[in-house]
Amino acid sequence: GTLGCASVTVGSPIVPLGSAVTASCTVQRELCRGLEQGKVRIRWMLDNKLVAGSQRQGPGGTEVSNLTLPRFNHTQARLWCCVEWNGTKQRVGMAEIRAGYPPAKPLNLSCVLNLSDYGLTCQWEQGTDSHLPTSVVLKCTGSRAQEVTGCTPREGHSHCTVPRRLLQLYRQMEIWVSATNALGTAESEHLCIDPMDVAKLDPPTLQSIQSIPFQTDCITLAWDLAWGTEHMELQCELRYRAPEDSAWALVTGISGRAGTAQRCGFLFGTQYHFQMRCRRNSASALAHWSEWSPCRSYTTHEKAPTGK
Amino acid sequence: GTLGCASVTVGSPIVPLGSAVTASCTVQRELCRGLEQGKVRIRWMLDNKLVAGSQRQGPGGTEVSNLTLPRFNHTQARLWCCVEWNGTKQRVGMAEIRAGYPPAKPLNLSCVLNLSDYGLTCQWEQGTDSHLPTSVVLKCTGSRAQEVTGCTPREGHSHCTVPRRLLQLYRQMEIWVSATNALGTAESEHLCIDPMDVAKLDPPTLQSIQSIPFQTDCITLAWDLAWGTEHMELQCELRYRAPEDSAWALVTGISGRAGTAQRCGFLFGTQYHFQMRCRRNSASALAHWSEWSPCRSYTTHEKAPTGK
Amino acid sequence: TELSGDQDFQLFLQRNLEFTRKIRGDVAALQRVVCDTLQLCKEDELLLVRQHLDIAQAPLEQCHKRTFQAETCFSQIRAGLHIYQGSLATIQALLPGHAGLVETLQLDMANLSSNIQQQMEDLDLATVTYPTENQDPLPTFSSHFHHQVGGFFILANFQRFLETAYRALRHLASL
């Protein structure tokens, strides 16, 4: 097709919301078959609303109309350049304008390593909508800034999973979120973590609870660690309480691999509920506790009649 | 690895259930380190049951044992060739045998065209299990035997959907199911249908029911046809009854696109329930009725006091 | 013509009258999308710009004449469907969010064309076989705006083409 009889130019097709928009429409009479005679009256429409421009003669017999919209507060609109022709309004040029904000800084980035497939799932808060097409990507790199890998969240989601093959295990990785649109880029805080530090463990399973040594107020518990954690140094916590107790008693610093623990000071003939949880014995404050194990109850034996 | 010291051959690895199976095991003494001295006694095991074979000397110092199982009635079994060695039974050769039937003829093939995505879903009855790996495929072709397309049911299912892009609409297509296994192939009846003839319509929606013309025992109903059927010639049926009526009154041959219908002979001051259904006005006997529309009730007005 | 009594021919006509109505519905849906998303709705507001665009327009005069020949009319319908099949790629590029609607339209057009071809062959009429993949070069537009207006006119012309084809089929069915 030939060059059109009108062309519309705008300062920028993407502007900050509320800022000014300038546009100009140039009509080349000799290129507009049918417009040769008579006065060319240029008119503007913002979507379907008439807006006033200022028309003047341009170079080489062209007619030029300039338009300024002081505060453009549509996130998306079409600016139409029109001319009168045979009593009809003819649309002869158009420009699409989008307005919004630079991307908000992604906040509260946190990650969890799923031990079943060793995928690292990270989530974050996207912040206020920028109203503009924004590409959001989770980036991660081994600490010596080798190649940057990561993952891309699905449209409208603010979480994604870095597959095992893109991860460096047992070593610090730098992980952050980067959001980019036409008005700028924003990055979240950078997390420096060893993916293993954020491994999400399944809880241990309390196998047996017995009054051992016999005739004492002591109890011995035995547990199995979650599948897939056999090679890990785990620190665990035990909590127990009798139904009428208001708070749990907490026993910390239990070595996971020990497999058993003994605790004394229990009342006789009383039912107690026990739960246990573990996490990797790593320095990182980010290490996630597993959920508490399913509750196991145990009733201590009656006190033996003394002085028999 | 070196060629084994024994090799087992069978007449056919897949046989009709209950038929005879022949096998032979050839032991080449010099290839069996440790079997050089003494007599080679070949014995057979069917899975873990001893079975007797007949042993003879074969060419080039080999020992050959032949086995015939007159009626092989396992659907799947392993035939082991064993030799005595240092007082132990050594498994030196094996053959897997499967038995079953040629595929049964797929029956009761029927298809429905889903108007939301224009996928043609066909289902059939697979018939008795052949016990053998059987590949089942739905095949369809435009009547001038162009390219055969179709779909493959998921494992263990006897239905699948031919996507729109593989269909010819508004024209006869030939559709059949083909089942193939090692013992043969079976085909269902061939359906010759225009996919549109088996379109499954959503029911119409009864929009309004009024006593028009006024002061008569007549009622005028208006309805909307289902989305996506605007271009179709539909024939519809209306049924109505008063709660105490035992049977529905049925009005047939209503043109769907008419959008309204009038019916007289209603009792005054009586509540009636109305339902409507439609199908494509095509010659094919296969055309499916839509479900009945949701029920709408309407109470006719009281009879006007006459002779006022 | 001697076809009118032929039972198969009548079935072909009934089926493909409905098919043409469906395709016209598909095109109307795309026209609504162009109006809603591109704000291009009224043809008489775009006449000036149209003069600068070379938009495919398939001839259908063989189906206009009162005493038209089924063979020549059918051939022109098929040729037109082939031309518009190619132009739809322009629409696909304009409306990435509605690729499904465009693909449905292209599948329906291909089926209608092969339905007509098979019917012509059944009537021992000469037919042309078009390559499935369309080799015609895509029209180029000097601006994004012209591309959008081009898309608008392709759909408008195609809708008129379908109305004429529909009237021709209905005329044959009424004989």
User: What is the C-alpha to C-alpha distance for residues C85 and C138, in angstroms, rounded to an integer?
Assistant: 11
Chains touching C (3+ CB pairs < 8 Å): A, B
A308 pLDDT higher than 50 = no
Query: What CA–CA distances, in Å, run from B143 to B160, B174, C78?
Result: 21, 6, 19
Partner residue opposite B171 with nearest CB, options C21, C108, C118:
C118
Q: Is residue B112 located within the same domain as residue B88?
A: no
Which of B100, B123, B143 marks a domain boundary?
Answer: B100
pLDDT band at A143 (very low <50, low <70, confident <90, very high): low
In a domain, B275, yes or no: yes
Q: Which residues of C touch A78 (CB under 8 A)?
A: 38-39
Q: Does C112 touch chain B (CB under 8 A)?
A: yes
Q: Does C139 touch chain A (CB under 8 A)?
A: yes
**Contact state of C15 with B118 under an 8 Å Cβ cutoff:** no
Q: Is residue B166 located within the same domain as residue B246?
A: no
**Contact state of C52 with A85 under an 8 Å Cβ cutoff:** no
Compare A248 and C56 and report the one with higher pLDDT.
Answer: A248
Q: What is residue A68's predicted lDDT score, i.e. its pLDDT?
A: 95
Q: Is C78 left (phi over 0), alpha (psi -120 to 50) or beta?
A: alpha
Residue type, A60: G
Q: Is residue B26 located within the same domain as residue B94?
A: yes
Which of B100, B130, B146 marks a domain boundary?
Answer: B100
CB A177 within 8 A of CB A263: no
Q: Give the three-state DSSP class for C106.
A: helix
Touching chains C and A? (3+ Cβ pairs < 8 A): yes
Chains touching B (3+ CB pairs < 8 Å): C
In a domain, B237, yes or no: yes
pLDDT, average across residues B216-242: 92
In a domain, B306, yes or no: no
User: What is the C-alpha to C-alpha distance for residues A276 and A278, in angstroms, rounded to an integer?
Assistant: 7
User: What is the C-alpha to C-alpha distance for residues B32 and B84, in angstroms, rounded to an integer?
Assistant: 12
Q: What is the DSSP letter of A164?
A: G
CB A84 within 8 A of CB A9: no
Across the A:C interface, residue pairs with CB atoms under 8 Å apart total 60
Q: What is residue C57's predicted lDDT score, i.e. its pLDDT?
A: 85
How far away is chain B from the Cα of C127, in angstroms, using its nearest Cα?
A: 15
Partner residue opposite C108 with nearest CB, options B169, B194, B282:
B169
A220 pLDDT higher than 90 = yes
Across the B:C interface, residue pairs with CB atoms under 8 Å apart total 46
Give first-to-last CA distance, chain B, whole Å.
113
Of B199, B211, B213, B201, the closest CA to residue B276 belongs to B201
Which residue in chain C is spatially nearest to B232 when comparing CA positions? C18
Which single residue is written with the structure tokens 């429905």? B112
Q: What is the pTM of this model?
A: 0.80
**Contact state of C45 with A90 under an 8 Å Cβ cutoff:** yes
Which residue in chain C is spatially nearest to A89 when comparing CA positions? C45
Domain at A169, CATH number = 2.60.40.10
Interface residues of chain A, partner chain C, Cβ below 8 Å: 1-5, 7-8, 31-35, 47-48, 78, 80, 82-83, 85, 88-94, 96
Touching chains A and B? (3+ Cβ pairs < 8 A): no
Domain that holds residue C167: 2-174
Of B21, B139, B126, B127, the closest CA to residue B70 belongs to B21
User: What is the C-alpha to C-alpha distance for residues A185 and A253, in angstroms, rounded to an integer?
Assistant: 44
Domain that holds residue B261: 201-299
Q: What does the H/E/C string look like for B33-96?
A: CCCCCCCCCEEEEECCEEECCEEEECHHHEEEEEEEECCCCCCEEEEEEEEEECCEEEEEEEEE
Bridge-partner residues for A176, per DSSP?
Answer: A139
In a domain, A269, yes or no: yes
Which of B154, B175, B198 marks a domain boundary?
Answer: B198
Asked if the ipTM is above 0.95, the reply is no
In a domain, B307, yes or no: no
Q: Which of C52, C90, C144, C152 to mutate to test the interface with A (most CBs of A within 10 A)?
A: C52
Q: Which residues of B touch C21 (CB under 8 A)?
A: 230-232
Q: Is residue B124 located within the same domain as residue B185?
A: yes
Q: Is residue B189 located within the same domain as residue B208?
A: no
Helices C7-38 and C70-94 pack at an angle, to 10 degrees, of: 30
pLDDT, average across residues A152-158: 93
Q: What is residue B49's predicted lDDT score, i.e. its pLDDT?
A: 94
Touching chains C and B? (3+ Cβ pairs < 8 A): yes
Q: What is the pLDDT of residues A115-124, one digit of tens each?
A: 999 999 999 9
Compare A117 and A243 and report the one with higher pLDDT.
Answer: A117
Task: Please provide the DSSP assignment of B121-177 as one string.
Answer: EEEEE--S--SS--EEEEEEEETTT---EEE-PPTT--EEEE-GGG--TTS-EEEEE
Partner residue opposite C45 with nearest CB, options A5, A34, A88:
A88
Q: Is residue B92 located within the same domain as residue B45?
A: yes
Report the 10 Å Cβ neighbour count for A168. 16
**Contact state of C15 with B144 under an 8 Å Cβ cutoff:** no
User: What is the C-alpha to C-alpha distance for residues B4 and B90, in angstroms, rounded to an integer?
Assistant: 13
Partner residue opposite B232 with nearest CB, options C18, C107, C121:
C18
Q: What is the pLDDT of residues A133-142, one digit of tens each?
A: 999 999 999 8
Q: What is residue B213's predicted lDDT score, i.e. its pLDDT?
A: 81
Q: What is the pLDDT of residues B139-197, one digit of tens each?
A: 999 867 678 999 999 998 999 999 999 999 999 999 999 999 999 999 999 999 999 99
Chains touching A (3+ CB pairs < 8 Å): C
CB B92 within 8 A of CB B6: yes
Report the 10 Å Cβ neighbour count for A181. 20
Interface residues of chain B, partner chain C, Cβ below 8 Å: 118, 142-144, 164-165, 167-171, 194, 196, 230-233, 282-283
Q: What is residue C1's predicted lDDT score, i.e. its pLDDT?
A: 46
Q: What is the pLDDT of residues A160-219, one digit of tens each?
A: 999 999 998 998 899 999 999 999 999 999 999 999 989 889 999 999 999 888 878 899
Which single residue is written with the structure tokens 């999973």? A161
Q: What is the pLDDT of residues B274-293, one digit of tens each?
A: 999 999 887 677 778 999 99
Q: Which residues of C touch A88 (CB under 8 A)?
A: 44-45, 47
Q: Is residue B187 located within the same domain as residue B207?
A: no
**Contact state of C118 with B118 under an 8 Å Cβ cutoff:** no
**Contact state of A83 with C148 under an 8 Å Cβ cutoff:** no
In a domain, B83, yes or no: yes
As a whole number, the mean pLDDT across chain B is 91
Which single residue is written with the structure tokens 């453009």? A72
pLDDT band at A10 (very low <50, low <70, confident <90, very high): very high
Q: Which residues of A touch C140 (CB under 8 A)?
A: 1
The domain total for chain B is 3
For A189-224, letters b (16+ CB in 10 Å) and e give eebebbbbbbbbbbbbebeebebeeeeeebbebebe
Compare C138 and B87 and report the one with higher pLDDT.
Answer: B87
The domain total for chain C is 1
Q: Is residue B182 located within the same domain as residue B223?
A: no
User: What is the C-alpha to C-alpha distance for residues A209 and A222, in angstroms, rounded to an integer?
Assistant: 7
Of C154, C29, C41, the closest CA to residue C88 belongs to C154
In a domain, A307, yes or no: no
User: What is the C-alpha to C-alpha distance for residues A9 and A64, in angstroms, rounded to an integer?
Assistant: 11
User: What is the C-alpha to C-alpha distance for residues A160 and C62, in angstroms, rounded to an integer?
Assistant: 59
pLDDT along chain C (175 residues), means of 10: 71 94 96 96 93 85 80 94 91 92 94 94 87 72 90 96 95 87
Domain at C24, CATH number = 1.20.1250.10
Q: Which two tokens stand for residue A85?
A: 């022709």
User: What is the C-alpha to C-alpha distance for residues A150 and A136, in angstroms, rounded to an integer?
Assistant: 11
Contacts with B45 (C-beta within 8 Å, 6 or more apart), sequence order: B51, B79, B80, B82, B91
CB B194 within 8 A of CB B174: no
Q: Does C79 touch chain A (CB under 8 A)?
A: no
Q: Which of B230, B231, B234, B257 to mutate to test the interface with C (most CBs of C within 10 A)?
A: B231
Q: Is residue B153 located within the same domain as residue B233?
A: no
Whether omega for the bond prior to residue A243 falls within 30 degrees of 0, making it cis, is no
- CA B168 to centroid of chain Cα atoms: 21
Partner residue opposite C19 with nearest CB, options B170, B230, B282:
B170
CB B10 within 8 A of CB B95: yes
Whether omega for the bond prior to residue B213 falls within 30 degrees of 0, making it cis, is yes
